[in-house]
Structure 1
Amino acid sequence: MTAAAPSLQGQALNGHNRISTQALTSLAKAAAAEALGVDTHDVRADWADDAGLLALSLVSPIRVPPLPAVVRDVGRVAAFGGSILDRTVAAKARIMSTVTALSGARLSRVDIRISGVKPIEGGRVL
């Protein structure tokens, strides 16, 4: 016979929880990769202290439609989510929200530097 576990609702528990920098970095890279449409290994993430909050700095390429397709149909940019700037601004909000929701960490800001582009389909963009 097993005893039922005591209910911990409403009780304050002693101790503390910590999320390692490596775990936060992996989470930030995954959130950024999803928001920018690239692989996780393409994203670099660094953390800094910003008056007691965490500032996240990311360097990543961004997925884009191939240039010949955009030249043929300029509307493809809007269908893809807008300009690189528009998509990067939207990605900042999604990354901050995701990292905060999953880790509980309080971020002051997310800075993104786009290091290149990766076309969605096909080979090199000429």
Structure 2
Amino acid sequence: MTESPLATRTLVGHNRVSTQALTSLARAAAAEQFGVRPGEVRASWTDDAGLLALSIISPIAVPDLGDVAGVEDVVAAAGSVWERATAAKAAILHQVSGLSGAQLSRVDIRIAGVRPPLGQKARVA
């Protein structure tokens, strides 16, 4: 079998991922981490000494507070809101940089509300 000439030479040019595509990717990654819809997540970018700094503002899904009786219920819900937001930083950075090839310096997160888990309606008292 003969190798194609394209397989042996280096192709020149540029690959760019648009800001809109990066933003959509960041929103989807954050939504997955926080158990909300991507449309509920806001993402913005700033320059951080040549790298990209990502800022996320999102609600987070939490179980009905009437169902949380003790520490074991918090653990079953994947931890406290603080623990989940802290863990999400690394996961979002890894997902976004891995899928886009962009070099992120950091991920800043602001939790801006709580929601019932997707597919579960809030109880009305």
Please show how residues 13-92 of structure 1 align to structure 2 within 5 Å.
13-71=11-69, 73-92=70-89
Structure 1 residues 114 and 30, CA gap change in structure 2 (3 angstroms)? same
Percent of aligned pairs sharing the same letter: 59
Please report the TM-score for the alignment, with normalisation by the length of structure 2.
Answer: 0.89
CA contact (8 A) 1:66 1:125 kept: no
C-alpha distance in 1 between matches for 2:121 and 2:73: 16
Could you tell me which amino acid in structure 2 is paired with residue 87 of structure 1? R
Unaligned runs of 5+ in 1: none
Q: Where do 4+ consecutive residues of structure 1 move more than 6 Å? A: none
C-alpha distance in 1 between matches for 2:51 and 2:12: 24
Q: Secondary structure at the match of 1:61?
A: strand
C-alpha distance in 1 between matches for 2:4 and 2:40: 44
Report the alpha carbon displacement of residue 117 of structure 1 after superposing the two structures with TM: 0.4
Q: Secondary structure at the match of 2:59?
A: strand
Please report the TM-score for the alignment, with normalisation by the length of structure 1.
Answer: 0.88
Matched, 1:98 2:85: no
What root-mean-square deviation, in Å, do the aligned CA atoms of Structure 1 and Structure 2 show?
Answer: 1.9
Write the deviation string for residues 59-98 of structure 1: whole angstroms up to 9, x where unpaired: 0000001100003x54211011110010001111110000
Could you tell me which amino acid in structure 1 is paired with residue 25 of structure 2? L
Unaligned runs of 5+ in 2: none
Could you tell me which amino acid in structure 2 is paired with residue 49 of structure 1? D
Could you tell me which amino acid in structure 2 is paired with residue 122 of structure 1? K
